[in-house]
Amino acid sequence: MNRIKLAPLALAALVAAPLAQAAPDLIAVGSISGTYQDLSATTGTLENGVAGNRLGGIGSGLTWAGGTTFLAIPDRGPNAVPFDSSLDDTVTYINRFQTFDLKLAASDAGSALPFVLTPTLRDTTLLSSSTPLVYGDLVGSGVPALNHGRSFYFTGRSDGFDPSKPSTNPNNARFDTESIRVSNDGKSVFISDEYGPFVYQFDRVSGVRVKAFKLPANLAVTNLSAQGAVEISGNTSGRVANKGMEGLAITPDGKTLVGVMQEALIQDGGDAGPYTRLVTIDIKSGTTHEYAYPLTSTGTNKYVTVSDLVAVNDHQFLMDERDGKGRGDGSVAKVKQIYLVDISGADDVTTISGATNLAPHAITNKTLFLDVKLDLVSHGYLTDQIPAKLEGLSFGPDVVVSGTTEHTLYISNDNDYLASVADDNAVTVDNPNQFFVFAFTDADLPGFLLQPVKALSDDECSTSDQGGGGGRHIF
């Protein structure tokens, strides 16, 4: 079978002799140009003129799926290109996940890093419901042209909701996908979103939703709008618009999902709130619990946001905290850090609201695991070269580094579907999707358990065309 290989990042611009290995440390980088298209060849052209199969934004979420297979998920679509402000420039981009082969190979002697990462795009899977969804008509029709029979596709358009029901109505078509995890048997994927917030389970092969998890009512808003700012001003509780369930983890035993809100709920202070919420979901029963996670302060009433988390075991997690600075923002990166957090003994705060009330119940066991910005700088990156949106987090297969077997942590960036951007000197630079691979040892992360995901065979992964959204099509 022929496959398209996407070129790895050229490392010539990095220093030839990085600092001595000190785990956790960068061992490889892979890159995908923002000019590529994915494998959904029949998704047409979006309202803003962008191709419906633009391969972009894929670093919003990342998960290992066994072997060298990873699943990457873009967010709600290329709304960085203007369309209509009444929709916050969102379009009928069909939600999807991409299947990649991320293969590490030893670098040549004298190379800046010990490994080269080569991404190979293997599949594109569109996400749909077998039952009708609510689409918007605020600016023309928000119904995807690919809808047919029992296939009703989810899209990123912000007006796809029923205004008479809370934002967590699972019949809404709007879906702002942010994180993805795979079941231990490899047959299902779990995806979190910012609009509802939602956590859905999909069949991995067909992309059809098989389950919607009911989340606590205090996460929802009741006054809905296609414009985020209007939605924020019209509610006194619930998630902040575009700051919903940004991250999602699955425990190694495959029994529990753990979602994290990007920032504090409105009733907890919103943008100025010091505590966001972790939400655990028992996959079998649907039972949920909430925990108050203390955000890192960057000044008076200012806190970083969280983008993703991965499960170290059933009670410890690595949390991705970041600012919005760096390449893609026309600025320099400041905060890109991974924290280890332990929820053992933490109080359930589902019935508690307000920062003052949450404070005595907040998680206290939180330590810095990896300062991503400092590590990248130690390898020759300038701070304006570090992507602003380092959003995806995933463990991967073990590797041998200098004769020692080590574990891997992959971090991916969301490039907002923009192939090029202006840097902090207003110079146009390439803006690829990237994968940064870090190695660490058991001593760096005691108690680490890698999720035992079954790798699916080519026959198990094969599917019909789904209107251009699935199967192993090669372009």
DSSP assignment of 341-398:
EE-TTPPP-TT--SHHHHGGGS--EEEEEEEHHHHHHHTT--TTTSBS-EEEEEEEEE
Give the count of domains, the chain: 1
**CB 62, CB 412: distance < 8 Å:** yes
Task: Name the 3-class secondary structure at 263.
Answer: coil
Count Cβ atoms below 10 Å from residue 368 Cβ, excluding itself: 11
Q: Which helix (H) or strand (E) holds 458?
A: helix 458-461
In a domain, 311, yes or no: yes
In a domain, 174, yes or no: yes
pLDDT score of 53:
97
Q: Which helix (H) or strand (E) holds 253?
A: none
pLDDT score of 8:
40
How far out from the chain centre does Cα 302 lie?
A: 23
Q: What is the pLDDT of residues 462-472, one digit of tens each?
A: 554 444 444 33
* Pairing of β 305-311 and β 302-303: unpaired
Q: Any bridge partners for residue 280, and if so which?
A: 258, 289
pLDDT score of 457:
77
**Cis peptide leading into 24, omega within 30 of 0?**
yes
pLDDT score of 256:
98
Q: Rounded to 5, what percent of the chain is helix, strand, coil?
A: 10, 35, 55
309 token code pair: 């988390």
429-452 burial: b if 16+ Cβ within 10 Å, else e: eebbbbbbbbbbeeebbeebeebe
In a domain, 28, yes or no: yes
In a domain, 475, yes or no: no
**CB 92, CB 76: distance < 8 Å:** no
349 token code pair: 């705060």
Give CA–CA dist 160/99, Å, rounded: 27
Closest residue by Cα to residue 116 from 10, 5, 28, 6:
28
Q: Is 273 left (phi over 0), alpha (psi -120 to 50) or beta?
A: beta
58 token code pair: 């894929």
- Considering the entire predicted model, what is its pTM? 0.93
In a domain, 132, yes or no: yes
Per-position DSSP letters for 15-41, written without gaps between them: -SSPPPP-SSEEEEEEEE-TT-B-S-T
429 token code pair: 């630079």
Residues of the chain with pLDDT under 70: 1-22, 461-475
Query: How would you class 223 by CB atoms within 10 Å of its CB: exposed for 0-12, middle for 13-18, buried for 19 or more?
Result: middle
How far out from the chain centre does Cα 107 lie?
A: 28
Give CA–CA dist 322/333, Å, rounded: 9
In a domain, 467, yes or no: no
Query: How would you class 228 by CB atoms within 10 Å of its CB: exposed for 0-12, middle for 13-18, buried for 19 or more?
Result: middle
pLDDT score of 121:
97
In a domain, 471, yes or no: no
pLDDT score of 149:
87
Count Cβ atoms below 10 Å from residue 229 Cβ, excluding itself: 11
Q: What is the pLDDT of residues 388-422, one digit of tens each?
A: 999 999 999 999 998 999 999 999 999 999 999 99
In a domain, 297, yes or no: yes
Give CA–CA dist 105/379, Å, rounded: 19
Instruction: Residue 357: give the domain boundaries.
Output: 4-404+412-461
Give CA–CA dist 171/195, Å, rounded: 12
